[in-house]
Amino acid sequence: MISTYHAALLADSGILMLGALSVYIILATGQLSLGNAGFMGIGAYLASYLTVEAGLPLTLALVLSALAAGMVGIVIGFPALRLRGIYLAMATLGFGEMVRSFFLNFEPMGGAGGFSGMVHVSVGYIWLWAGGILVLVTLLERSRLWLEIRATHDDETAASLVGLNTTATKIGAFGFGAAVAAVAGGLFAHHHVYIEPANFGFDRSIELVLAVILGGSTVAPGALVGAVLLVLLPETLRFLADWRLAAFGTLLVLVLLVRRQGILDRGLFRALTFRRQAS
Amino acid sequence: MMLSVRGLTVSYGPIGAVHGIDLEIGAGEIVALIGANGAGKTTTVKAIAGLLPFGGSVTLDGTPLRPGAAERNLRAGIALVPEGRGILGRMTVEENLLMGTYCRTDRRAAAADLAGMYDRFPILADRRAGLASLLSGGEQQMLAIARALLSRPRLLLLDEPSLGLAPKMASFVFELVASLRADGLTVLLVEQKARHTLKIADRAYLLELGRVVTSGPARALADDPVISQTFLGGRPLAAEAPSGG
């Protein structure tokens, strides 16, 4: 048995990894979303409503929330087609804030007071979802579809010249990313058994992006590395007391100075997996 | 005629780039578009490939092509090798070539064609695992043409394939284009190197400021005193032995 403290850290890592994966999937097509906390919020509130008010089992509630958020993601993906780079980042940031302020004013789900009544889920259940989705995305990375996603990221015009439908790829990625973020949100709600709009603000979106940038944005397991580091680093620095977060920030800057591409890149991942296969 | 273009107009916002171009290409022909910078050559091939919205009509074997539908045009049999080559630099040579086969449904034949392409361009086989951006200019052009050929096009649009290449590599590219005729391919070639182009082309169109100013058999155009003076430096093509076609 692991202690409650370690179980909480493990659960937070799993949820953060799913959120980071949602950013990674969208980023793979060359689109940076700073609004994934919004999708996470939709998933958290919808899954909580479905389990607490409608009495549905959690797994079904998570699937339905993922589908609903996926559809919202597809809707958001259309205007995003016309935007690139920093402009797209700003637009998605606006979407995230819009979702947060919606739940802030949405009294049926508690408004600013938050929502509770969910049944606590185990770390094992969280990691079943987290591991499953990580394996799914890792397998997807070996498929033809992922090659199309990378081509869309590389050069959209060149991708359309080889017959790829870059519009469908980009919108699909938004939908899939939003669905994964919603699962993360639903699990967050049922792990903490209380949610409020502030849980899904801009700082959460930044945390998800940071996990991807830190862990590595070219392979899916980079999200796992980033999430574990973001959860564990501040904890291991507790001996520094008040200087803990300053030291954490310094470490982040140092890591990114040494490895701009993130800790885990395609080359390192290949080397690690080859070694494992060889031994 | 395989490709028939009637009254093609293309604008970039309020600025017109192509003003009512008519051109025709028969099956198995190599047709050249020549002209100075800004004549509308690239705009014309981009519109035919489906990359730009256009006015007028473009038909392939009698079927009208819709503007701005590059993927559909590729499936209909039109492949474009764009100016600047359009390779996917962050992907490997092999991944680039695989992409060329993705529009096809005959997977087995596509795999055989891919193997055949490595025989045709051994340098690409040597570099298959390397990033496409690390190839030399000439190798990138080979990759771009090989990738386009893997989609098994009926009409290949080549936009300035010799641009930025060393003379030896440029000559290789022109020989390659001439050899495509033997594969039964139809080619629309946009080039500034008029001398090489008129040697391998069957017919040519001269564009100026978005309009066709003259057209006809390539060798006849090469003998035209104005074209000879403007594009061939006053040295007539007739004095040289024909190459390719």
- Tell me the pLDDT of chain A (279 aa) as tens digits: 788 899 999 999 999 999 999 999 999 999 999 999 999 999 999 999 999 999 999 999 999 999 999 999 999 988 888 888 889 999 999 999 999 999 999 999 999 999 999 999 999 999 999 999 999 999 999 999 999 999 999 998 889 888 888 899 999 999 999 999 999 999 999 999 999 999 999 999 999 999 999 999 889 999 999 999 999 988 888 888 788 788 888 888 888 888 888 888 888 888 888 766 665
Q: By CA distance, what is B79's nearest residue in A? A: A161
Is the interface score ipTM higher than 0.85? no
| Interatomic CA distance for residues B109 and B101, integer angstroms | 10
The predicted structure's pLDDT at residue B245: 38
- Copy the structure tokens of residue A160: 């359309």
**Do residue A160 and residue B103 have CB atoms under 8 angstroms apart?**
no
Confidence category of residue B107, pLDDT binned at 50, 70, 90 = confident
Residues 6+ apart with CB under 8 A from A21: A133, A134, A137, A180, A220, A223
Beta strand pairing call for B55-60 and B3-12 = antiparallel
The DSSP result for A212-266, as a single string, is: HHHH-SSSTHHHHHHHHHHHHHHHHTGGGGGGHHHHHHHHHHHHHHH-TT-SS-H
**Do residue A155 and residue B151 have CB atoms under 8 angstroms apart?**
no
| Interatomic CA distance for residues B82 and B44, integer angstroms | 12
Average pLDDT for B122-150: 93
Q: What is the largest CA-CA distance in chain A?
A: 58
**Do residue A162 and residue B74 have CB atoms under 8 angstroms apart?**
yes
Residue range B3-85+137-239 forms a domain whose CATH class is alpha beta
The predicted structure's pLDDT at residue B236: 64
Confidence category of residue B70, pLDDT binned at 50, 70, 90 = confident
State pTM to two decimals. Answer: 0.86
Over residues A60-119, the pLDDT tens digits come to 999 999 999 999 999 998 888 888 888 999 999 999 999 999 999 999 999 999 999 999
| Interatomic CA distance for residues A168 and A78, integer angstroms | 10
Give the closest residue to B171 by CA, choosing from B179, B163, B162: B162
**Do residue A162 and residue B147 have CB atoms under 8 angstroms apart?**
yes
The predicted structure's pLDDT at residue B243: 47
Average pLDDT for B104-122: 91
Beta strand pairing call for B203-208 and B30-35 = parallel
Average pLDDT for B169-186: 89
Contacts of A151 in chain B (CB under 8 A): 88, 91, 99
Considering only CA atoms, give the Rg of chain A: 19
Give the sign of the dihedral formed by CA B98, CA B100, CA B101, CA B103.
Answer: positive
Per DSSP, the three-state class of A200 is helix
**Residue B244 confidence (pLDDT) above 50:** no
**Do residue A163 and residue B91 have CB atoms under 8 angstroms apart?**
no
Contacts of A164 in chain B (CB under 8 A): 71, 99, 102
Is residue A132 left, alpha or beta, with left meaning phi > 0 and alpha meaning psi from -120 to 50? alpha
Over residues B203-220, the pLDDT tens digits come to 999 998 999 998 999 888
The predicted structure's pLDDT at residue B237: 65
Task: Report the DSSP beta bridge partners of residue B206.
Answer: B34, B214
**Do residue A154 and residue B89 have CB atoms under 8 angstroms apart?**
yes
Confidence category of residue B166, pLDDT binned at 50, 70, 90 = confident
The predicted structure's pLDDT at residue B71: 85
Name the domain count of chain A.
Answer: 1
Q: Which domain holds residue A28?
A: 4-278
User: Which B residues, 46 through 65, put their C-beta within 8 Å of a C-beta on chain A?
Assistant: 49, 51
For residue A157, what is the domain's CATH number?
A: 1.10.3470
A to B CB pairs, distance under 8 Å: 60
- Annotated domain spans of chain B: 3-85+137-239
